[in-house]
Chain A
Amino acid sequence: MAVDESGQAFHHPIYSFLEKMPGLSLGLTTADQLLTWGSSNSLFIFPMATSCCGIEFMAASSGRFDLDQIGSIPRGTPRQSDVMVIAGTITVKMAPRVKKLWDQMPEPKWAIAMGSCAISGDFYRDIYSVVPGVDTFMPIDVYVPGCPPNPDQLFAGLRRLQEKIRAKRNGEWTDPELRPDTPGLRSPNLPRIGDPRREASLDEAQLDAVMNLDPGGGMLRSGDKS
């Protein structure tokens, strides 16, 4: 007789796939289900917080909204985190650094673009120094719109990411994220990742920028813009 604890007041999601052996302190499940449960419920976030959305991200991780309740904590290193939350405007000077940090994160990894600046550049998108959307140089899984999005909207984005992770591990189909449109863009419009018009030379150029971040070797000279 399998113990059914799903009707109890405190329903833990682990009981949805774990069968308890009667009379023994032992549960049975498949490794796949356990890994799916673990990877979707302990998303460590690397906060790529640059501007206003970073403050809302801090609010989300503080007491009232409590990011901990869905198993996520901010982790200040790319080596031990699963999700990169890009919160804020990414400039041309910052973009190679963001991509370098993204490349340093171990697989499996996901990215959330939080706020309209990260999604499309918003009203800064025609400015010479702003990247019109981070998905021109790195893949994005979930877009959280807003300027800035409230912490509960960030939670909705994380929920959406958890759904996508579960569906992908179970081999189910998820609808692709709607790509944000950037009407009236006057600056050179880079094709986004996954766009058929995107050329391989662009990827190589971006990777080259990441690998040669500080060509001067450390010393600042007159006229050096670094």
Chain B
Amino acid sequence: MAVAHSEEAHEAPAGPVPTVVRPWADPYLDPETYDPEGDLMVMNLGPQHPSTHGVFRVKLWLDGEVCVKAVPYPGYLHRGVEKLCEKLTYVQIPPIVDKNDYVSPYINELAVNMAFEQLNAVEVPRRSQYLRTLGAEMQRVGSHLLWLGTFAMDMGGALGGGASAFMHTFRERETILDCFELWTGARFHYNTLTVGGSRHDVPAGFAEMVRRTYETIRARTIEYDELIYDNAIFRSRTEGVGRVDAKLAMELGVSGPILRASGIDWDLRRDRPYAAYGELKINVPVRSAGDSLARYEVRMAEMRESIRLVLDLIDGIPEGPICALKPVKLPGAFKGKAGQAYVAVDGPRGELGTWVIADGTERAYRLKIRPPSYHAMALIPYLAPGSTLSDIIVTLGSLDPILGEVDR
């Protein structure tokens, strides 16, 4: 078997990371003030643009093909989820937050249910902790596969036809969705987690199906590297493009693969263990270059690590009950205690936090969601100026935003 190519980090480009010029990031500052001579063209990227991964609008001021200033406008998918969660009961909230990050709904459910459990001091059984870890890692692979397909599609014809990598990754993603469909009955939007555990136990034959699926994907990750990473055009379009300074990333609250690609070794699964992660050994991939290629390397390494975790976990799930409480079906049947709880999990895009303030009724007083993509999108005013329009598309794709959780 060939060696996986993106296991080794590429060398960081020579020279310092370009310093950030603050005026570019100020949305209210007229570009004429720092570029009076520029004959600028104003252009809207989005809201309906195939490369923005959803409905996202960036207003660009272009000097020729080079961007001078970029202002992102989120809010085209604002569905008022946090307001909606104030009028719904605890039982009704998990299927709503599923739709926030619709590429990894399992991890959304996990975050919100863990917050409710911390609030009410519910101890989750050990088997359910392992099942949650298994589901989260399975979901992470599916999410990264979707990112890989759309990221390669953003590159367009450079990779041997616009949609070839997309077709490859979606072939594997469908098999992951099949596993979830067997487990929970839905392709996504599972509503399988509840306060105190899970609703669905794994069915018969599930372990064999998961093992077969993920071993296939592990072999196929080498194919992806051969198709994408070894492609000289891909390398030249991503290397040094969209470089994120570690200091800037920390300032803006960026987390997840983007932070790890900038050289900061931080992963909540290892550093603040939740579910069954405390009993597992997790290798966290870190790159120092901070560019789009480094983010590709980090996500591919994470995908391999998640596949390894899934294959390790699937045989070692302990026996026992899957839910500490009796799963309720009536919306008002569960009453929470008064108080506050903040829980963060490490999703495919970074730290997904849920802060719940409760007043002791069956409804939460306030539910705040901290989406990782929202903080990643704050990078755009800093990354876009100075790069060409085609590089902005690559940068956007490498940030892997999900607009459902940016606007929520």
* Residues of A near any B CB (own CB < 8 A): 48-52, 54-56, 58-59, 62-64, 76, 88-89, 91, 93-94, 97-98, 101, 123-124, 127-130, 147-148, 150, 218-222, 226
Contacts and interface: CB of A to CB of B under 8 A. Distances in A.
B119 to A, nearest CB: 23
Given A50-B76, A148-B189, A62 B55 contact: no
Nearest to B43: A218
26 contacts: A50-B55, A50-B76, A51-B99, A52-B99, A52-B188, A52-B189, A55-B146, A58-B166, A59-B170, A62-B167, A62-B170, A63-B167, A63-B170, A64-B171, A91-B79, A97-B47, A101-B48, A127-B79, A127-B80, A127-B83, A127-B84, A130-B79, A150-B187, A218-B59, A219-B30, A220-B28
A54 to B, nearest CB: 7
Contacts of B27: 220
Given A147-B189, A220-B71, A130 B80 contact: yes
A97 B48 contact: yes
Contacts of A64: 170-171, 174
Dominant secondary structure at the A interface: loop
Nearest to A219: B30
Nearest to A51: B404
Contacts of A94: 47, 55, 76-77
Interface in B36-91: 42, 47-48, 50, 54-55, 59, 71, 73, 75-80, 83-84
A147 B95 CA distance: 11
A147 B190 CA distance: 11
Contacts of A98: 48
A79 B63 CA distance: 28
Given A64-B170, A64-B174, A221-B28, A48 B48 contact: yes
Given A50-B55, A89-B77, A129-B80, A76 B170 contact: no
A98 B174 CA distance: 30
A123 B187 CA distance: 20
A213 B150 CA distance: 29
Contacts of A63: 167, 170-171, 174
Contacts of A124: 79-80, 84
A90 B48 CA distance: 12
Contacts of B403: 50-51
A94 B52 CA distance: 15
Interface string B184-211: 0001110000000000000000000000
Interface string B173-185: 1100100000000
Contacts of B79: 89, 91, 124, 127, 129-130
Contacts of B167: 62-63
Q: Which 7 A-B pairs have the closest CB atoms?
A: A62-B170, A52-B102, A127-B80, A218-B42, A76-B50, A94-B76, A63-B167
Contact of A62 (B28, B47, B171): B171
B177 to A, nearest CB: 8
A31 B103 CA distance: 46
B96 interface: yes
Of B73, B77, B177, the most chain A CB neighbours within 10 A belong to B77
Nearest to A98: B48
Contacts of B171: 62-64
